[in-house]
Amino acid sequence: MSGRVGDLSEQQQKKLNEFRQNLSDDLSPRHDDHYLLRWLRARKFDLSKSEKMLRDHLIFRKQMNIDGILDWNPPEVLPKYMPGGICGHHKDGGIIWIEPYGRIDPKGIVRSCNKSDFVRYKTKFCEIILKDFQEQSKKLGKIVDDVIVIVDLDTIEYHHIWQPLVDAYNAAFTMFEANYPEVLKICFVLNAPSMVSAGFSLIKPFLSEDTTHKIKFLKSNQLQVLLEYIDPDQLPKAYGGTRTDSNGCPQCKDEICWGGKVPRSYYVNKELQEIENLQKVSIPSKSSHYVKLEITEENSVISWDFNSDEAIIFGIFKKNKAEKEKEKDLKIIQSKAKYNSNQVPESGKIVCIQVGLYVLTFENTNILQSKSVRYNVEVRPPMNENTTKAKEHCNETSVHPSCNHCSAIG
């Protein structure tokens, strides 16, 4: 049995019923059987693992304001220079995503937006794809729930595998794996040179075994394989199909961004010395530095900026009461990860959907030497009557940097 609606074993149906009952406090009418089965299949119908995965996802949606992400305008550099786009539908009705990664300007992208905006941009497209699934399902009269990804590595060189950009992609992959299970149908990689094995080894640890098996490297037979899944009128002419955009472009540039060199005028990552109230700490080898914040109002926003003289481990945890605890006893809000903030300053924000003690941790895993970290951490108030009024002057599709409302929800 496939574990999909209409194709469940007696045991799978029993687990689906129990899964729904266990999550009844958090579910809404839109969480139908098809939705729940995605999470069960992702964890091989292990109820405890599936429940944790879905509950973590629902928290993620609140913390990152995902329900409002379709109205979010990303930094202009991303839609103008970040390669990729939705182009047509495959034979089963799902979206086709094409990403000509070899045309990316790694340093230009990373220096023109922070990692959180990069990940949020990728998340927005995930939500666009889910919305298209619903529309296609109604149009075709059947469930449409998967996407074909085509990654084109033509013109890729070693400088494209720049660690800060790899970090940004790994964060996006981690987000995708945790929050959009059972969405990828297959990923075709085109024009891959031999050097790609090194780059893939950096990304592979962030992918599940199931996702890894869906990645197919195509060579001389690429058109034959693509046409097994995609009709010619849905495949750009540049890849052997017949599709062009409204201007007759064979690369469908109206739908797919083909990257390019990012003008320096887009660079926004400034030196941290420009930030007020900057703290500097030296973290001994095999030690951690903790920044503790008592959050007394729900939906307050924690924002941070930091850099270091060497790569550093950063994560965010929470405890309900403001008392000393070991890190292992704290709830994970943002998993610890390695940040190459010695190359590019790091910044981000998160919404605190619950009150309590939040702990930001900087960890030095080096066994021989200390590391220096410079950081600034702020707590912004939650949306209230004043910020709600302030929102009235904000266009739904624009963000005003000087506006408290805009700066709070990003």
What percentage of the chain reaches a pLDDT higher than 90? 64
**β-bridge mates for residue 300, sequence order:** 352
Query: What is the predicted pLDDT for the residue at 348?
Result: 86
Average pLDDT score over residue span 236-241: 96
Query: What is the predicted pLDDT for the residue at 208?
Result: 80
Q: Which of 198-202, 284-288, 335-339, 402-406 has the lowest mean pLDDT?
A: 402-406
Query: What is the predicted pLDDT for the residue at 390?
Result: 36
Query: What is the predicted pLDDT for the residue at 274?
Result: 57
* Rounded CA separation 120/363 (Å): 25
> Given the DSSP bridges, would you call strands 95-99 and 331-339 parallel, antiparallel or unpaired?
unpaired
Query: What is the predicted pLDDT for the residue at 386?
Result: 38
Beta-carbon contacts of 226 under 8 Å, excluding residues fewer than 6 positions away, are: 150, 188, 218, 235, 239, 240, 241
Query: What is the predicted pLDDT for the residue at 262?
Result: 96
Query: What is the predicted pLDDT for the residue at 388?
Result: 39
Task: Indicate the length of the chain as a whole number.
Answer: 410
Q: How confident is the model at residue 276 (pLDDT cuts 50, 70, 90)?
A: low
More confident residue, 198 or 96: 96
Query: What is the predicted pLDDT for the residue at 407?
Result: 39
* Rounded CA separation 107/337 (Å): 21
- Residue 391, pLDDT > 50, answer no
Query: What is the predicted pLDDT for the residue at 271?
Result: 54
List, for residues 255-274, the tens digit of each pLDDT value.
999 999 999 999 875 555 55
* Rounded CA separation 115/56 (Å): 21
Query: What is the predicted pLDDT for the residue at 404?
Result: 37
Q: How confident is the model at residue 288 (pLDDT cuts 50, 70, 90)?
A: very high
Domains defined for the chain, CATH in brackets? 10-63 (1.10.8.20), 75-266 (3.40.525.10), 272-409 (2.60.120.680)
More confident residue, 382 or 96: 96
- Residue 326, pLDDT > 60, answer no
List, for residues 135-171, the tens digit of each pLDDT value.
999 999 999 999 999 999 998 888 888 888 988 998 9
Query: What is the predicted pLDDT for the residue at 335?
Result: 86
List, for residues 183-217, the tens digit of each pLDDT value.
999 999 999 887 776 667 767 777 788 888 999 99
Beta-carbon contacts of 100 under 8 Å, excluding residues fewer than 6 positions away, are: 83, 84, 152, 154, 256, 258, 259
Q: Which of 118-127, 149-158, 372-381, 393-402 has the lowest mean pLDDT?
A: 393-402
Mean pLDDT across the chain, nearest whole number? Answer: 87
* Rounded CA separation 5/33 (Å): 7
Query: What is the predicted pLDDT for the residue at 398?
Result: 34
* Rounded CA separation 16/36 (Å): 7
- What is the pTM assigned to this prediction? 0.80
- Residue 323, pLDDT > 60, answer no
Q: CB under 8 Å, gap of 24 or more: what pairs does 30-37 form?
A: 33/5, 34/4, 34/5, 34/143, 34/145, 37/3, 37/4, 37/5, 37/8
- Residue 384, pLDDT > 70, answer no
